[in-house]
Amino acid sequence: MPVQWTEQMRTGHPTIDSDHMQLVEIINLVEQAVIERNLVRADQIIFALLAYVSGHFAREEAIQQQIGFPDCATHKQKHAIMTAFSTHLEGQIRDASTDSRKLACLSQLQDALGDWLIKHILDEDMKMLPYLGRSAGVSAA
Ligand SMILES: [Fe+2]
């Protein structure tokens, strides 16, 4: 299933929102490549995705420091858990002995990351809103 970005996921912070939209887009590109069984393309996108995820986590954590978000250590830990899980699956993708196995691992990573991202944005990233000087549901003007 493609991941859908919704207004509910808007934090109002331009960097965070643009990162999240970009992540949704790349996750959907991975899915498309898996559906087309285009392994070369899927491989390229998945590694671009993982690089983008790690860049995004670093940017978001830096913003949390700047705005004095009190739960930044816990939040950082959640990012680290996802990074470890993605790295583990990335290894499985790299080591897959058959194309079918590789596609299954790619699909698993894309699914897990997609589900996690939406839930993480709605349940965790939204906790930043009061510190970003906005309230939930209010979009940036
Ligand atoms: Fe986050």
pLDDT along the chain (141 residues), means of 10: 92 95 94 93 88 96 94 96 91 91 91 94 95 59 42
Tell me the Ramachandran region of residue 136: left when phi exceeds 0, alpha when psi lies from -120 to 50, beta otherwise.
beta
| pLDDT at position 129 | 93
Residue 84 covered by a domain: yes
73/47 Cα distance (integer angstroms): 26
For residue 124, the CA-to-ligand 1 centroid distance in Å is 6
Centre of ligand 1 from the C-alpha of residue 123, in Å: 9
DSSP state for residue 139 in the 8-state scheme: P
CATH code at 102?
1.20.120.50
From the CA of 118, how far away is ligand 1's center (Å)?
Answer: 10
Cα of 79 to ligand 1 centre, how many Å?
A: 6
Expressed in angstroms and rounded, the spacing between residue 117 Cα and the centre of ligand 1 is 8
In a domain, 2, yes or no: no
Please name the residues in contact with 125: beta carbons below 8 A apart, sequence gap of 6 or more. Answer: 9, 11, 16, 20, 60
Our count of domains for the chain comes to: 1
